[in-house]
Every structure is written in structure tokens, then in C-alpha cells.
């Protein structure tokens, strides 16, 4: 259904009625169930596995571990350091607490779950290191990383008239999507079909091909819908390798679903970080220099890095900027991409530091940002493809009522609560990748568009239908978009805010070519009557498959980003330290907004996660054991309805002339960037207390 806000979700009814199948909902004759047994140490070696009791348990078919697993062909290849995985069931080594050490397979989930508790594993334990702050001195410069950066003079902030220095800490953030991770694997000889949760379907197909050294025609991946991911759904995780091996061994369809506790250790997380920022300005508020140093963590067996300091290089007009990024290897599972990876962490520190310097200057923080606005990219010395961050400032301030803000902290009390206003900005690259799509218009009036992209919730199919409907003049209810299969035309993974730009460009180009093909059949008619042409030429359908380049014309000449400015009103109870977010306005420059109703939902989702990031979310480890002590949704606190106020989203909605033919810029990632800083800045304005260590819990305010 189309209304003034755009097209409502084309798959919405299917989702709310349960008609769409998620990864764990596929059933096959002879389907059996696997439960992963996890390690109970963080570092060491397995010295023995006693599975006799489990094997004798009712309904148990097999217990698989490194002791009896078959030789996996792909395990012989050179490890890929950008693939955050381990060789499941390959050897006895333990790299992190919760690592898969065995897979129990039974004829029911309940029987497999019970039998898994009967597996006894003995270890030779080694001393683990799981604390980032305790191991900062062991950090190293990531290989292949270019994050050490210098423009102008290093540490020039020290010579400024007004300067600040501060250290900021962000904790582990865990992927706690509503849908647990699952894989259903079905082998037929040397052919494998999997139903799973995959943001990058073609990449997962390739990973499985590499693991078993299979040709592409022997591997089929389905991921029709995803119940939340935002980075965690990309790799072939250890539990999935266990499922593939298990199904191969027993030669039956096998379903493996990990539980909530295992989601803390088996599907990645946002790396914690320690960041130091020095920032200085002249007395009139012009930036002189910024120094930004950050340290994150990775595992001992792989390297994962992210651009924590990247935004600092270009967000503001500053002549002297130097950044440094380091990693510390710890005995934990490998971190992974998590919404706004790198930027979300780094911009928290950057935008808090901007607020701190504005306060030291006794200057309104929004005016300070305007004074240091970058009208071109100072890092790459390129013009922007488009940049309306200044309009985000003005639109957001107007809708929020920023003019009511008091410069002096702790000066506003309302019904016994301290009231503060805060602002935080963010940016995220407007990327695009190679993509293919197929469009087929049949004599029954149905336009079918296909591409092997996925949908982790933002409404991919909906916006693709909207793009197609704008080109080919047929009712939207007659347009179908098929995704979620590796057999469809190749598409990039759904991450990095590239899906609409990449897949959308392919849909745009393919539908344009299809329209041109109809015009040619009709002898050059400008407004072809599609069904009449099919009937007159006795054609059951007309079909086009088109590959679209990931590079827009002249893209290299420009720097392309989406932008956001978040405005937050926070109330703080002076006696208890409780923080309530009372009002949020998020102003967004996402180029042309193709479908406002789903775009607004993207921003709201980012803000809700940002509320959790700023006030509640923290993965807590007991470093004596390297174990999470809050590996559940009771103790790991995500934002709930009671934490979330009405969120107003304002779009600049101006077309970007460079990024893609639609003029859009991805907004899924940028939605969360800068929000936690806006909350911290609002809390400071309310209380005069600067919290630099997330989350902002009551104990830090009383």
C-alpha cells in the first residue's frame, strides 16, 4: 500500500502472520537436531572428551568433536585473517570461553539439549587475558591498516589558547538480535543446501565452497528473512561449521540453533575501546588541532579492525589532525562489524570532546560545530558529493527547540529532575558495490525482479519495489522482488549502508533496460503498453539481466557520506542518578529519501540502539575465567519501551548527484552514529558531571 509517507512493507503481512520462514523454521523428512557443547575455559587444550553417557541417551544419533570429525578439505588452506572464524573440530586448542567443542545430534531438540549436558570435557587450562584495559601496553599496530594519519602538525592542540584532554571508554556491545542464529543443512552426496541467517549470501556460499572445496553449483544458500543482524550475520561462524560437519557425518538434514548465552560468544560483538582525545581551539572558537588515539581488541587467532578514528579526519575543518589506532590480542572470540562499525565508537569520543571544548570556550556547542564546518573533505582534499549537515543543524534545532538550552550546566530543574540538552553529529560513508539484477515482465502483468541480496529488517524488498515502480508504470501490487537465494543474480552483502545504493542501482538500470527493450519491440514508442506488446507479439514474457558497476561515474572525484545530527533532552534525578531520555530529534542527510516510511524506521532503530548504548548495554566479563557474567537478556540490558520516548525524524531529502541514479545515500549505519555522545552531552548539561565511560549508569552520577 502506498500513502503520503511512501510504500508500506510489501512483506509486512507475511511477517506478522508468520507466513515467512526464518532459518530455524524449515522442516524436512528425517530432520534431526544438533546442540553445540561450549568450552568452559578461555585458553588451553582439550585433554579428553567423555561422551559415552550422551551417546547412550535416548534419541542420540551422534556426538561429534575433533576426536571423530572427518578431515575438512578447506582447513588445509592458508587462513584468511579477515575471516573471523576458527576451524571447528579441527584440533584440541581452545581460544575463548564458549568455543564449540562438540556437537550432540538427536532426533529431537530436547533430547539433544539434555544429552549435551552429559558430555564431559577435560582441559589443560592456561592463563587467559581478557581485559582490554589491563593489556593496553601489549597493543600493536594492525597490519594492513592505514589509520595512523597526520595532517599539518602533530599534537598542535597543545599550542591552542583553549584546549582539553580526555579519555573515553566504551564497553563490549553484543549482537542480541531477536532471532537466534540457526542453520539447517541438507547434504545430497557432495551437494549442500543450507537455510541460515546470512547478510552476505554469495559470500557465505563462497565460504562453504572453500571449506569443502566444492564447485559453485554444489552449494545453495537460502536466507529469505533475517530477524536482526547488523554485522553479525556476515561470516560463516563456528556453530555453522559444526552444523555443516554434523550434517555431512550423519547424512541427514540437521538443524542447529544456538541459545542466547552462545550468541554472546559465537557471532561476534562490538569491540570495547579506550580513546584519548586532545583538542584545542583559538579563543574565538576556531579549531587549531585534534589528536585522537584509540585502542580496540581482537582475538589471538584472527585480526579484526575497524575505523574508530576515521571520522575525526574529516568531520570538522581543522588544519592539524593526527590519529592513531592500535589493537590488543585477547583470549576472546573475534569481534565483528556492529551497527556503524568504528564510527559509532569513535564519534562518541569525538563528539563528547567537541562538547567539552565548546564548554571550555563558554560557547554554544551547536554554534561551535557551525564555526568549524568543513565545506570540503579536508582529509582527501575533495569536494563532497553532497553535504547538508548544516541543514541538519538548523532543521533539527528548530524542531527540537534548541534555543531553550541553557549554557550553564545544572541550571534547569523540572518537577525535581535536572534537565539538559545535548547534541551529537555523525557521518558514514555512502558506498556502493557491484550488483546484478534480473527483471521479468510476464503476460499476467506481474513484474518479477530478482537479486541475491538479503533483508535483515530495513525493508529491502519494499524499497526495490518502489524503485522499480518509479521506472515502469505498473501498480506496485503487481511488482514482486525476490531475494534470499544464492541462485539469483549476484548481489553484495547487506552491510555498510550499501544495499539501496548497490542493489537499487542494479534494479534501476535493469528496469530501465527492460523498458527500453519494450520500446524497441514496439518500434520506438515512448510510453509502451507492456501487456499489449506482449499479446501482439505472442510473448509470454520479456526478461533482462543486468550487471551494474559499483562505481558511479566520476565517483573518485568526490567524497561521499551520509550525515546525521541528534538532539536529546535528558532528565536526571539528582538523588538516584536515574536518567530518562525525554525527547529526541534526529535530522538526517541521506540524499533523496526513496521511501520515507521505512527510512524513518531505520533512524528510529538506530536511536533505540543508541539509547541502549548510552545508558544500559555492557557485556561484563569475569576476567578470572574469561566468561560473560550477563550472557542473557535479563542481565544484559537492552533498551525497552519504557526507555524510549517519541522520536522525531527529520529528513533534508535532497538528491545526491553522484552516488547512484536514485540520488540516495545509505542511512542504516549512520542512524546510531553520534547518538551516545548527544546523550552524554545532555547529561552533562543537566548535571555538570561529565561521564566518559559508557554506559551512563546511576552510580556514575551520584
Choose the catalytic residue: 351, 356, 618, 669: 669
First to last CA, the chain: 51
H or E element in which residue 122 lies: strand 120-125
Q: For the chain, percent helix, then strand, then coil, each to nearest 5? A: 30, 25, 45
Max Cα-Cα span within the chain: 79
In whole angstroms, what is the distance from residue 300 CA to residue 318 CA?
A: 37
In whole angstroms, what is the distance from residue 347 CA to residue 273 CA?
A: 12
Closest CA to 251 of 64, 110, 86, 119: 64
In whole angstroms, what is the distance from residue 323 CA to residue 313 CA?
A: 8
Phi/psi at 61 (nearest 5 deg)?
A: -100, -40
In whole angstroms, what is the distance from residue 516 CA to residue 524 CA?
A: 8
H or E element in which residue 678 lies: helix 675-687
User: Which three cell numbers, joined as nine digits, stand for 82?
Assistant: 579477515
In whole angstroms, what is the distance from residue 585 CA to residue 392 CA?
A: 10
* SS3 labels along 549-578: CCCCCCHHHCECEEEEEEEEEEEECCCCCC
Is 391 in the active site?
A: no
User: Which three cell numbers, joined as nine digits, stand for 587?
Assistant: 535530522
Q: Which residues, 6 or more positions from 270, have their beta carbon under 8 angstroms from its beta carbon?
A: 170, 172, 173, 174, 335, 338, 341, 344, 345
Q: How many CB atoms lie within 10 A of CB 370?
A: 14
Closest CA to 299 of 79, 52, 60: 79
In whole angstroms, what is the distance from residue 87 CA to residue 73 CA?
A: 11
In whole angstroms, what is the distance from residue 299 CA to residue 238 CA?
A: 14
Alpha helices for 328-458 (secondary structure H): 343-360, 365-371, 389-400
In whole angstroms, what is the distance from residue 237 CA to residue 244 CA?
A: 11
User: Which three cell numbers, joined as nine digits, stand for 132?
Assistant: 582490554
Cβ-contact 529, 472 below 8 angstroms? no
Residue 231 three-state SS:
coil
Q: Would you please indicate which residues are annotated as catalytic (active-site) residues?
A: 669
Amino acid at each position: 500500500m502506498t500513502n503520503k509517507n511512501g510504500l508500506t512493507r510489501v512483506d509486512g503481512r507475511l511477517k506478522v502472520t508468520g507466513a515467512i520462514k526464518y532459518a530455524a523454521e524449515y522442516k524436512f523428512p528425517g530432520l534431526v537436531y544438533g546442540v553445540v557443547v561450549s568450552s568452559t575455559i578461555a585458553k588451553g587444550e582439550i585433554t579428553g572428551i567423555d561422551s559415552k553417557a550422551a551417546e547412550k541417551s535416548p534419541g542420540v544419533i551422534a556426538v561429534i568433536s575433533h576426536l571423530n570429525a572427518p578431515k575438512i578439505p578447506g582447513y588445509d588452506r592458508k587462513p584468511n585473517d579477515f575471516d573471523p572464524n576458527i576451524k571447528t573440530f579441527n584440533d584440541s586448542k581452545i581460544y575463548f570461553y564458549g568455543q564449540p567443542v562438540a556437537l550432540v545430534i538427536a532426533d529431537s531438540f530436547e533430547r539433544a539439549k539434555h544429552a549435551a549436558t552429559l558430555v564431559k570435557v577435560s582441559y589443560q587450562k592456561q592463563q587467559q587475558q581478557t581485559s582490554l584495559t589491563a593489556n593496553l601496553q601489549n597493543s600493536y599496530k594492525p597490519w594492513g591498516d592505514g589509520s595512523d594519519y597526520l595532517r599539518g602538525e602533530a599534537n598542535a592542540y597543545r599550542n591552542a589558547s583553549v584546549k582539553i584532554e580526555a579519555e573515553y571508554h566504551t564497553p563490549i556491545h553484543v549482537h542480541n538480535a531477536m532471532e537466534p542464529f540457526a542453520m539447517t543443512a541438507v547434504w545430497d552426496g557432495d551437494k549442500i543446501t543450507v537455510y541460515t541467517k546470512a547478510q552476505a549470501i554469495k559470500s557465505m556460499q563462497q565460504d562453504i565452497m572453500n571449506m569443502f572445496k566444492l564447485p559453485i553449483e554444489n552449494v545453495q544458500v537460502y536466507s529469505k528473512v533475517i530477524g536482526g543482524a547488523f554485522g553479525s550475520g556476515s561470516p560463516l561462524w563456528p556453530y555453522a561449521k559444526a552444523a555443516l560437519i554434523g550434517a555431512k557425518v550423519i547424512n541427514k538434514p540437521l538443524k542447529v540453533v544456538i541459545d542466547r548465552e552462545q550468541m554472546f560468544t559465537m557471532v561476534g560483538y562490538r569491540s570495547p575501546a579506550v580513546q584519548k582525545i586532545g583538542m584545542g581551539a583559538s579563543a574565538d572558537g576556531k579549531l587549531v588541532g585534534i589528536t585522537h588515539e584509540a585502542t580496540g581488541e581482537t582475538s589471538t587467532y584472527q585480526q579484526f579492525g575497524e575505523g574508530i578514528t576515521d571520522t575525526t579526519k574529516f568531520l570538522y575543518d581543522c588544519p592539524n589532525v593526527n590519529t592513531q589506532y592500535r589493537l590488543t590480542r585477547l583470549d576472546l572470540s573475534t569481534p565483528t562489524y556492529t551497527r556503524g562499525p568504528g564510527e559509532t565508537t569513535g564519534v562518541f569520543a569525538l563528539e563528547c570532546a567537541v562538547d567539552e571544548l565548546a564548554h571550555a570556550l563558554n560557547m554554544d556547542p551547536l554554534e561551535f560545530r557551525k564555526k568549524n564546518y568543513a565545506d570540503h573533505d579536508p582529509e582527501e582534499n575533495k569536494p563532497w558529493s553532497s553535504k547538508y549537515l548544516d541543514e541538519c543543524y538548523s532543521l533539527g534545532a528548530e524542531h527540537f527547540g534548541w534555543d531553550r538550552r541553557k549554557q550553564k550546566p545544572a541550571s534547569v530543574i523540572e518537577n525535581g529532575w535536572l534537565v539538559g540538552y545535548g547534541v551529537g553529529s555523525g557521518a558514514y560513508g555512502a558506498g556502493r558495490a557491484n550488483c546484478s539484477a534480473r527483471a521479468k515482465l510476464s503476460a499476467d502483468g506481474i513484474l518479477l525482479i530478482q537479486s541475491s541480496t538479503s533483508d535483515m529488517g530495513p525493508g529491502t524488498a519494499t524499497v526495490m519495489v518502489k524503485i522499480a515502480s518509479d521506472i515502469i508504470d505498473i501498480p506496485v501490487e503487481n511488482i514482486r522482488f525476490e531475494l534470499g537465494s544464492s541462485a539469483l543474480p549476484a548481489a553484495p552483502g547487506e552491510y555498510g549502508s550499501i544495499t539501496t545504493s548497490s542493489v537499487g542501482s542494479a534494479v534501476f538500470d535493469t528496469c530501465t533496460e527492460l523498458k527500453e527493450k519494450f520500446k524497441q519491440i514496439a518500434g520506438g514508442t515512448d510510453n509502451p503498453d507492456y501487456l499489449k506488446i506482449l499479446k501482439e507479439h505472442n510473448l509470454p514474457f520479456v526478461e533482462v539481466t543486468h550487471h551494474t558497476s559499483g562505481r558511479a561515474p566520476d565517483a573518485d572525484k568526490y567524497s561521499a557520506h551520509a550525515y546525521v545530527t541528534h538532539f536529546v533532552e535528558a532528565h536526571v534525578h539528582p538523588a538516584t542518578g536515574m536518567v530518562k531520555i525525554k525527547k529526541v530529534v534526529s535530522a538526517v542527510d541521506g540524499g533523496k529519501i526513496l521511501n520515507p516510511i521505512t527510512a524513518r524506521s531505520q533512524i528510529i532503530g538506530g536511536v533505540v540502539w543508541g539509547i541502549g548504548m548510552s545508558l544500559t548495554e555492557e557485556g561484563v566479563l569475569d576476567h578470572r575465567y574469561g566468561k560473560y557474567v550477563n550472557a542473557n537478556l535479563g542481565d544484559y540490558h537492552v533498551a525497552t519501551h519504557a526507555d524510549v520516548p517519541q522520536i522525531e525524524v527529520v529528513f533534508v531529502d535532497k538528491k545526491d548527484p553522484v552516488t547512484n541514479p536514485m540520488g540516495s545515500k545509505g542511512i542504516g549505519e549512520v542512524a546510531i552514529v553520534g547518538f551516545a555522545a548527544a546523550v552524554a552531552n545532555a547529561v552533562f548539561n543537566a548535571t555538570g558531571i561529565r561521564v566518559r565511560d559508557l554506559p551512563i549508569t546511576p552510580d556514575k552520577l551520584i
